[in-house]
Chain A
Amino acid sequence: MPKITINGQEIEVPPGKTVLEAAQLAGITIPTLCYHKDLSPYGGCRLCMVEVQGARLPMASCTLPASEGMVVQTETPKLADSRRTVLKLLLSAYYDRGDNANDGRENELIHWAKFYGVDIEKASLKAPRYEINADPNPFIYIDMNKCILCGRCVRACAEVQGRFVWGISERGFESKVVAGLDEPMLEARCESCGACVAYCPTGALENKLSIGMGKADEIVQTICPYCGVGCTVDLNVKDGKIIRVTSSPEGAVNGMRLCVKGRYGYDFVHHDERLNKPLVREYLLNGTQRPKGADRGKWVEVDWETALTITARKIAELRDAHGADSIGVLTSAKCTNEENYLMNKFARQVVGTNNIDHCARL
């Protein structure tokens, strides 16, 4: 394994690692913006520059392979100066209207600007260059005035989600992140998974449902209820209500990934019409005939025992009257493997039919 020296500390690095990763292994923080551990290295923001002994100019540690005998300095007055210059330049093209002010989440650009003592107010752009919230996507909020062109959204969409919605159009200072051929996101194959939002370091991409919702009182880590994959979600809760759902790198199955349902489909939780108890038709409780016509009578709130008993009775009646093959069972991707296995047992052994299928095949 190659040995390299970072800030005087000798580090043994597994082969194939970059200098940045080597530093992280040793607990040394190098400032980054365009880097994310899940994404391919880009080398665009130029914040992670380090001094390498023998090199004429500083080098980007995120793309620099660690090789035997390298001697690296990550914090020198000269590097701090150049980082300040880069941060000031980035801020000089950065305008924040404050739509999501005080949401309690750290904007990486502002974090590093503060760290290197840049006067953010003074360095920032004074008027917007782009229309704010111009895209009709119902879930993703775009403010390109806060974009620093780190390309993390582009890589997240391509490498994490495999949708290739984002790209960078134009050149130089006019470069901007666009969906497809500069068209609305949904027309550019976007499935609104929000991966780009999760990877954006500045809040140029945000969760539209959560704009202006403020800071969460607590983060509740739980499992997404939608399907059997079991993604970890972080519910951002304020005053007992979910104000946004975020993903976290700790998610064992999904990491930063979530789908549109897991990230944005949480309005049912606090919805007025949400059912909290089973309902059955009144005629079933009364044991009377099914009313004729479209209206089959009132819904009545019951306990689970009653609801399941009625369901079991009806299935048994149908089987006895028309044979087991008159019944089919469809299971759900929302169920776990174990639950699906039990439904299979139920169909074949309890009902006595091979008519079983799964929604994933439909």
Chain B
Amino acid sequence: MKTVRAMVLVSSDPQSLLNGAEQVYQQLQSEIAAFGLEDEVSLKMVGDIGRHDAVPMVIIYPEAVIYGPVKPEDVHHLVEEHLYKGRVAAELQAPVRELSGRIAWLSARKGTLPAEKRVVLRRAGIIDPTSIEEYIIHDGYSALGTVLGEMQPSQVIDVVKKSGLRGRGGAGFPTGTKWGFVAGTKSEKKYVVCNADESEPGTFKDRLILEGDPHSILEAMAIAGYSVGADEGFIYVRGEYTLAQERLHHAITQAEEMGFLGENIFGTGFNFKIHIHSGAGAYICGEETALIESIEGKPGLPRSRPPFPTTHGLWGKPTLVNNVETLANVPPIIQYGPEWYGTLGTPSSPGTKVYTIMGHVNKTGVIEVPMGITLREVIAIYAGGMKPGSSFKLAQTGGSSGSVIPASLQDTPMDFDAYSRAGVSLGSGALLICDEDTCVVDLGRVLINFFRNESCGKCSPCRIGTQRSYEIMESIANGNAKLEDLQTLINLADSMNEVSNCGLGQTAGTPIRDILKYFRAEVEAHIRLHVCPTGVCEIKIPV
């Protein structure tokens, strides 16, 4: 790598690409050449930088100035001002995200990036994801080196256990314990599977990691493979994530060429090979056993448990299935130690969490913050508050299968245990923030409709229960429901939770149950008064 005085990064998430990031990049290339700056300035397309409010964005380091949205015709001015004359082109700058002094424990980053604590996203948007050299310069593969060179598999598992890392896919299962289960199962052959199917609506945290820092997942999988005794790994990537798949393929080739993957890694005799498997659009394939079936080439129907994948997984062999974000936490834990990791987040849920923010707020996008921050803080600080003239009514966490969080729980720390105690769940980290114009009946109907469409159909409570729940929600929205239907909804939600085969059916009724718990009066207004208080549902009063 050459030494440069300035680094220009262009965001290349799908939205940026749609808005012309490619053309901006080409324009930058020719303008930099025109000013004769090729030797002093590096230019690269990076992944998703976590902000979508003004894309495509151009970030110029070392000043860390964010420009956006940048149009190809702005580029000449931008290069001339910033790179040639050395002045910030203020009129092209992206809107500044204000920081709040309230959370002093968040380490503020230089420039105008929001004050976050980036662990899993620390390289995303900063390095060139197609360059293994840049990854290595940013401490890449050093954790793998430490693990293979200095640690026994059991020591690695102890470190992960000690860190208190919990699964980031939604369930929050202790990662080290899971690794211990797989390591403790005797078998000639074991597998490590990275769940990158990320299909919860509104969740795209994993995509950022895969697109912006693909090597971190390869490194983490190799560490996991060494720890549990596996020599082969699969990354099951959501089919729509074509850019992520492309970058992973590229990264695997590079890592194999450099000897970080493949046979006899670092001369230690440890072998590890990684395959990419593309999903085909089924939500259910994010469920770990359906995902395993899908890799095996079968329809994505969840298996019955027990036996669990930790003993009978891919092709019947012990298999470790971890979410992308979970794995991305592993190399920094090895590098900086479990004690450091414990300084982030809360005692029961250490570390950071990546959230995707959507809805009626001023700024949507992605943030990575320590566990335990409250919803109120997220909205006020990172989302720039509610949209003008609107106020917070509820948030929906974790895609569809999370919970509906009313205003009364806005100050509950967002970690696994505090949420669980409050009877709600954190889910995958999607935060859909709704204002008072949102009708809960409409919201519930949309959510159950999603489950109805995505239920695999294997087990009867989920297959038919989601359909019947949807029909009731539809009749409430039309003003045709009866009050006793609400009890039927609760019964259906309970039965689906108790007897469904997998997490989809078990959580399908959760949003409706939450809605009936926190917003029952509003639902009843549809039935008793034939009125939708927010005016969203079109009620034709029955004759």
Contacts and interface: CB of A to CB of B under 8 A. Distances in A.
A92 B464 CA distance: 8
Nearest to A172: B455
A268 interface: no
A46 B453 contact: no
A85 B501 contact: no
Interface of B is mostly: helix
B467 interface: yes
A58 B501 CA distance: 10
A64 interface: yes
A43 B498 CA distance: 14
A92 B95 CA distance: 55
Given A171-B456, A172-B454, A86 B501 contact: no
Interface string B426-467: 000000000000000000000000001111111111111111
Given A63-B304, A172-B452, A89 B499 contact: no
Contacts of B249: none
Contact of A171 (B304, B453, B461, B506): B453
Interface in A29-68: 41-46, 49, 57-58, 60, 62-65
A43 B464 contact: no
B454 A86 contact: no
A175 interface: yes
Contacts of B497: 57
B535 interface: no
A291 B20 CA distance: 95
Contacts of A45: 459-460
B460 A90 contact: yes
A149 B299 CA distance: 15
Interface string B458-479: 1111111111100000000000
Contacts of B304: 41, 43, 60, 62-64
B457 A86 contact: no
A155 to B, nearest CB: 13
A148 B160 CA distance: 45
Nearest to A90: B460
A46 B459 contact: yes
Contacts of B269: none
A213 interface: no
Contacts of A42: 458
Contacts of A85: 461, 491-492, 495, 499
A64 to B, nearest CB: 7
B282 interface: yes
Contact of A43 (B456, B457, B491, B501): B501
A115 interface: no
Contact of B464 (A41, A89, A171): A89
Nearest to B458: A44
A170 interface: yes
Interface string A169-188: 01111110000000000000
A57 B455 CA distance: 20
Interface in B276-323: 282, 284, 299, 303-304, 306-307
A93 interface: yes
B307 A65 contact: yes
Tell which of A46, A90, A149, A172 has the most Cβ of chain B within 10 Å.
A172
Contact of B468 (A82, A86, A89): A89
Interface in A146-176: 148-149, 151, 168, 170-175
Contacts of A171: 282, 284, 453-457
B203 interface: no
A63 B304 CA distance: 6
B299 A49 contact: no
A27 to B, nearest CB: 24
Contacts of A174: 457
A85 B456 CA distance: 19
B271 interface: no
B12 interface: no
Given A41-B304, A43-B304, A65-B307, A172 B463 contact: yes
A46 B459 CA distance: 7
Contacts of A93: 464, 467
Interface string A73-93: 000000000100110011011
Contacts of A44: 458-460, 501
Contact of B465 (A58, A63, A89, A151): A89
Contacts of A62: 304
B302 to A, nearest CB: 9
Nearest to A78: B498
B163 interface: no
Contacts of A64: 304, 306
Given A60-B304, A64-B306, A89-B460, A49 B499 contact: yes
A47 B457 CA distance: 15
A60 B495 CA distance: 14
Interface in B233-257: none
B460 A149 contact: yes
27 contacts: A41-B304, A43-B304, A43-B459, A44-B459, A44-B460, A44-B501, A58-B499, A62-B304, A85-B461, A86-B495, A86-B499, A89-B461, A89-B465, A89-B468, A90-B464, A151-B458, A168-B299, A170-B457, A171-B454, A172-B455, A172-B456, A172-B463, A172-B466, A173-B452, A173-B455, A173-B457, A174-B457
10 tightest CB-CB pairs across the interface, nearest first? A175-B457, A63-B304, A43-B304, A172-B455, A173-B467, A89-B464, A85-B495, A46-B499, A172-B457, A44-B458
